[in-house]
Amino acid sequence: MADNKKVWLITGSSTGFGRSLTEAVLKHGHRVVATARKPEQLSDLVDQYPETAKAVRLDVTNTQQVHDAVKSSVDAFGHIDVLVNNAGYGTIGALEEVSEEAIQRQFATNVFGALNMIKAVLPGLRQQRSGHILNISSVGGFVSFAGTGIYCSTKFALEGLSEALSKEVAPLGIKVTIIEPGAFRTDFNGRSLATPEHLIDDYASTSGEFLKWIRETDGTQPGDPDKAAQAMIQAVESHNPPLRLALGADALHLISEKLSSVKAEMEAWKQVSINTAFEGLEVGAIGG
């Protein structure tokens, strides 16, 4: 196997971005440990690529399965070069509508599941002084919308830990990239979507309208998951990969719009912000 062929460990490989990325990486000649809660859904890929594909059972909320998946990857291919934290789903509903149990499930998968994977692979990446971690966030990891408070808070958390992680591991030769897709034609809006059991009429014109839009656009989203997969591979193959990679013109527009809004608001309230220091004291940047 050529030196430039990497070993990828991809979570949530059975559908959506995970499936498209797994197929694309295998077509590029790399080795892949594809994981899913039902690994039999990946048997066709293992049959097609018997030397370079391995399917492993993995629920990212199960710590033992996380460590077993990492061990299986190393046992099969000797090491791991790229971890892709793709496993996740969306919960849509006003904050008041979403149950405590649903909130905990959402964070367990989207945040703690990814964190479990990161902590499990880091010892090996540190030892080899190389590697790349791709955390699949969302445009909702940068911009929040009515009805997405729980989902977006998990993606905001993922972005916060990814940004810190990138600074911690950069001197060790390990790279981190946050993927921020807009609306792509996956099953996010359909089968994978979680919604509240009881809706509150007062939120019909805010979170209710967003939920309606999500359902109406299912199957007609502009983003092509296969093209997203190629973009992710391009980021991994780059000598200077981005910390954040927005995917889709819609994601670029929404993120740019928020950056402009935040800048304008900070400028409008600049003097109020500055006037909170003790008299005569100059305050520098945190960590600067």
CB neighbours of residue 2 within 10 Å: 6
pLDDT tens across 210-240, in order?
A: 999 888 888 778 789 999 999 999 999 999 9
Mean pLDDT of 37-55: 95
pLDDT tens across 78-118, in order?
A: 999 999 999 999 999 999 999 999 999 999 999 999 999 99
Catalytic residue among 72, 155, 175, 203: 155
Confidence (pLDDT) at 3: 56
Mean pLDDT of 197-203: 94
Helix, strand or coil, per DSSP, at residue 145: coil
Residue tagged 């959402």 (tokens): 106
User: First vs last Cα of the chain: how many Å apart?
Assistant: 45
Annotated catalytic residue 155: yes
Interhelix angle 114-128/149-169, rounded to 10 degrees, is: 10
Domain layout of the chain by residue ranges: 7-259
Confidence (pLDDT) at 221: 83
Identify the DSSP state of 51: T
Strand-pair partners of 181: 247
Catalytic residue among 20, 137, 153, 166: 137
Q: What are phi and psi of 137, to 5 degrees?
A: -95, -130
Q: What is the pTM of this model?
A: 0.93
CATH architecture of 7-259: 3-Layer(aba) Sandwich (3.40)
**Which residues contact residue 259 at a Cβ distance below 8 angstroms, ignoring those fewer than 6 apart?**
none
Binned at pLDDT 50, 70 and 90, residue 189 comes out as low
Dihedral sign, Cα of residue 68, residue 73, residue 75, residue 80? negative
Catalytic residue among 151, 166, 175, 207: 151
Annotated catalytic residue 43: no
Mean pLDDT is lowest, of 87-91, 169-173, 193-197, 269-273, for: 193-197
Identify the DSSP state of 278: P
Structure tokens at 176: 């981190």
pLDDT tens across 173-184, in order?
A: 999 999 999 988
Identify the DSSP state of 90: -
Annotated catalytic residue 258: no
Cα–Cα distance, 85 to 104 (Å, whole number): 19
Closest CA to 10 of 36, 28, 29: 36
CB neighbours of residue 255 within 10 Å: 18
